[in-house]
Amino acid sequence: MPIGEDIMSTRRNRRGDSAPQVAGNGLIDRRTLIGRGALIAGAMTTGVPTSPTGAAAEPLTNGPWSLAPGVPIPPYGQPSKFEKKVVRTLSNPNLEPRGSAARTPHHLLDGTITPNGLHFVIARGGETTVDPDQHRFVIHGLVKQPMEYTLDALHRYPMVSRVTFLECGGNSAPLYSKQPLQASVQAIHGLSSCAEWSGVLLSTLLDEAGVDPKAKWLIAEGADLPTMNRSIPLGKAMDDAMIALYQNGEALNPSNGYPMRLLLPGYEGNMNVKWLRRIKLVESPVMAINETKQYTILLASGKAWQFYFPQEVKSFITRPSPGLNMASPGYYEISGVAYSGNGRISKVEVSADGGKSWAPAALQAPVLSKAFTRFRMAWNWDGRPVILQSRATDEAGNVQPTRDALIAERGPPRGTPNVAAFTMEHFNAITSWGVDAKGEVSHVYA
Amino acid sequence: MCMRKLCAIALGLGLGLGVASAADGPHFGRPIGPADLAPWDISIAPDGVGLPPGGGTPAQGAAVYADHGCAACHGDKGGGGPGGALVGGGPLNPTDRDPVKLIGNYWPYATTIFDFVRRAMPWQQPKTLTDNEVYALTAYVLAINKIIGEEDVMNAQTLPQVKMPNRDGFVSRYPDKH
């Protein structure tokens, strides 16, 4: 959404002026605005809705779409032609010899499920095209009986479905830069998405193959250009790991591993190996490039964390956010997503005064473990500059840290990387959006 | 669990697909032996398990580097390009910090170089180099980083013995967090 475009103007409600404030700079109790709330009830009794713009209403007319047949229903439905701007941003559109990132446009979506065509992607060798009839998946190493599976074979096993987020370890890396990067929530946080995945629990297949007690890890490997490989603890594999075959009800999107991927709910995205072709059970990790160089976090001490695994609790406001500006003071809904690789979100707090005061946001049901949770907060903006923040807490008691706290842990940044720089920092700090007196939203540090 | 047992009885036995050695389950996969697995079983452990026969020197590696146009992505003598530098990398300590993670200042295991080159390089034609070429490129990369000498031969015995400068630079977050 270009700066200055005012998609939020229709949300204004001047009657929010009298709503009780729950935190500084106009955060209000949204229960007063929905359902049987006093403000709405009051408005209904007056029966005099006031146009926010003060413009007189025009007589209603029939649009041309109401006066003629439409077009044939397509066999596979596409988004409206008026929604062409709702797309991923691509880091490598011409497939130069390097990795590719495609980022989810969080600011143009709502709810908790990311459409398959907008799910984020990181791929080292482009989108891999795998022929499902020729694809093979093997389990071997420290098992009683090494096994080979076709896609058809996997379809015959008992399946499960679950909603879970995936997040690249490099998501939100721009928050590490010295100066706040002026970019959209898509550029800053677009490497996380959430979908419903269906497939076969890995434990079902490992039980069948017969795991040798010496096995403590497994190596998962893809059929893509780099034959991407990662070491995964056997405990995770036996807990909730899945060989996913379906994404939001349809076969996996090619960018997300068609015909099969490993799904490790809550774990760093890169471990969820796409185009999965091999699992080898071993005694100790293989020390692949993506677990020794990439996805390790250099700490202030000079040592680096290895085997980071669960993505820590995070939230960010998707609306308003940079590019989604506000035309005038009045009522707005602040909304965003929160998630944790440790389980359910237990609380999201919102601040409109840069963290001086906080109020709990409404968490939209269902609140699922290791899944996006949508939060909503009512706000009556008085037209003065404010700083908006969200802070999530998960059911394990982890609280989303401030940027300053993470910088202290990991050492000061050096320079300001490009938005596409892929610095692997597992950065889950609080994000701050500054709103100026004109209603323009920018990325700030607070 | 009930569903799995039912499948085992109704389908596994009925179709004669059962593998006697493993636990209950419908067994829709097929047993596969080591010879058939070998082309995909390319894992290399940091202790060298999985390294193939063969070997190579830095000089041989320099020739492979030139023949395959590696400089297009990694620069002359690994100095850098769109695919990243293969030499350089500053200190990781907090006082004079250059957190660019390169082979010489960051990678903990030399076996990872061999493994990654064999499975992923060159980008346009991965998995086409011979094992001798991969050993030679590994030796070349280690030599330009001054981690081995110009005459050292890298093979299944010598490569796991190479001590990388940042070998002790890591602490595992697992299993504290899992």
B62 Cβ contact list (under 8 Å, min separation 6):
B140
Is the residue at B175 inside a domain?
no
Please tell me the predicted confidence (pLDDT) of residue A410: 86
Both B74 and B140 in one domain: the answer is yes
Distance from CA of B142 to the nearest CA of A (A): 16
Which range among A199-203, A228-232, A326-330, B22-26 shows the weakest confidence by mean pLDDT?
A: B22-26
Question: With the CA atoms of A197, A202, A203 and A208 taken in that order, what torsion angle do they form, in degrees rounded to the nearest 10?
Answer: 130
Which range among A243-257, B32-46, B84-98 shows the weakest confidence by mean pLDDT?
A: B84-98
pLDDT 10s digits, A377-415: 999 999 999 999 999 999 999 999 999 999 888 887 766
Both B148 and B66 in one domain: the answer is yes
Both B59 and B129 in one domain: the answer is yes
Please tell me the predicted confidence (pLDDT) of residue A45: 35
Is the residue at B94 inside a domain?
yes
Give me the mean pLDDT over the A284-306 stretch: 93
Both B27 and B61 in one domain: the answer is no
Distance from CA of B97 to the nearest CA of A (A): 8
Is the residue at B117 inside a domain?
yes
Give me the mean pLDDT over the A216-241 stretch: 98
State the DSSP code for B172. Answer: E
Please tell me the predicted confidence (pLDDT) of residue A15: 44
pLDDT 10s digits, A309-354: 999 999 999 999 999 999 999 999 999 999 999 999 999 999 999 9
Is the residue at B24 inside a domain?
yes
Confidence band for A179, pLDDT divided at 50, 70 and 90 = confident
Question: Which of B:126-145 have CB within 8 Å of A?
Answer: 126-127
Query: Which CATH number fits the domain that encloses residue B142?
Result: 1.10.760.10
What is the percent of chain A with per-residue pLDDT over 70, rounded to a whole number?
A: 89
Please tell me the predicted confidence (pLDDT) of residue B111: 98
Is the residue at B96 inside a domain?
yes
Both B17 and B70 in one domain: the answer is no
Task: Take residue A25 and report the two structure tokens written for it.
Answer: 């700079």
Which range among A168-177, A186-195, B112-121 shows the weakest confidence by mean pLDDT?
A: A168-177
Please tell me the predicted confidence (pLDDT) of residue B97: 58
Both B69 and B154 in one domain: the answer is yes
Task: Kindly state whether A158 is in contact with chain B, defined as any CB-CB distance less than 8 angstroms.
Answer: yes
Partner-chain contact A287 B73, CB within 8 Å: no
B5: closest chain A residue by CA: A158
Which neighbouring-strand residues pair with A441?
Answer: A435
Both B59 and B11 in one domain: the answer is no
What is the percent of chain B with per-residue pLDDT over 70, rounded to a whole number?
A: 83
Confidence band for B22, pLDDT divided at 50, 70 and 90 = very low
Nearest CA-CA partner of B61 in B144, B136, B153, B159: B136
Give me the mean pLDDT over the A68-89 stretch: 97
Task: Kindly state whether B167 is in contact with chain A, defined as any CB-CB distance less than 8 angstroms.
Answer: no
Whole-angstrom CA distances from B99 to A101, A109, A328, A406 are 22, 35, 44, 16
Both B85 and B6 in one domain: the answer is no
Q: Tell me the one-letter amino acid at A199.
A: G
Please tell me which residue, A216 or B176, carries the higher pLDDT value: A216
Q: Which of B44, B93, B101 to mutate to probe the A interface, most A CBs <10 Å? A: B101
Confidence band for A35, pLDDT divided at 50, 70 and 90 = low
A2 prior amide bond cis, ω within 30: no
Residues of B in contact with A308 (CB under 8 A): 173-174, 177
Both B82 and B26 in one domain: the answer is no
Please tell me the predicted confidence (pLDDT) of residue B18: 40
Is the residue at B21 inside a domain?
yes
Q: How far apart are CA A374 and CA A420, in angstroms?
A: 26
Confidence band for B137, pLDDT divided at 50, 70 and 90 = very high
Task: Kindly state whether B69 is in contact with chain A, defined as any CB-CB distance less than 8 angstroms.
Answer: no
Phi, psi angle pair for A234, to nearest 5°: -60, -35
Please tell me the predicted confidence (pLDDT) of residue B16: 40
Annotate A176-200 with three-state secondary structure.
HCCCCCCCCHHHHHCCEEEEEEEEE
A253 Cβ contact list (under 8 Å, min separation 6):
A116, A117, A119, A247
Which range among A92-101, A364-373, A416-425 shows the weakest confidence by mean pLDDT?
A: A416-425
Average pLDDT in chain A: 90
Please tell me the predicted confidence (pLDDT) of residue A9: 39
Residues of A in contact with B22 (CB under 8 A): 144-145, 207-210
Q: How far apart are CA A155 and CA A4, in angstroms?
A: 50
Both B59 and B26 in one domain: the answer is no
Task: Kindly state whether A153 is in contact with chain B, defined as any CB-CB distance less than 8 angstroms.
Answer: yes
B70: closest chain A residue by CA: A97
Q: Is the pLDDT of residue B57 over 60?
A: yes
Q: How far apart are CA B105 and CA B91, in angstroms?
A: 7
Question: Which of B:6-45 have CB within 8 Å of A?
Answer: 7, 11, 19, 21-34, 36-37, 40-45
Question: Which of A:77-116 have CB within 8 Å of B?
Answer: 96-98
Domains and CATH numbers, chain A: 123-285 (3.90.420.10)
Is the residue at B108 inside a domain?
yes
Task: Take residue B163 and report the two structure tokens written for it.
Answer: 């001590």
Give me the mean pLDDT over the A175-191 stretch: 92
ipTM of this model? Answer: 0.89
Both B79 and B139 in one domain: the answer is yes
Both B99 and B14 in one domain: the answer is no
> Could you give the number of structural domains in chain B?
2
Is the residue at B37 inside a domain?
no
Task: Kindly state whether B95 is in contact with chain A, defined as any CB-CB distance less than 8 angstroms.
Answer: no
Partner-chain contact A153 B28, CB within 8 Å: yes
Q: Is the pLDDT of residue B92 over 70?
A: yes
Task: Take residue A255 and report the two structure tokens written for it.
Answer: 């960018």
Partner-chain contact A210 B174, CB within 8 Å: no
Partner-chain contact A229 B43, CB within 8 Å: yes
Give me the mean pLDDT over the A79-93 stretch: 97
Residues of A in contact with B119 (CB under 8 A): 226-227, 229
Domain of residue B65, residue span: 55-161
Partner-chain contact B25 A208, CB within 8 Å: yes
Give me the mean pLDDT over the B140-147 stretch: 98
Partner-chain contact A157 B26, CB within 8 Å: yes
Q: Is the pLDDT of residue A52 over 90?
A: no
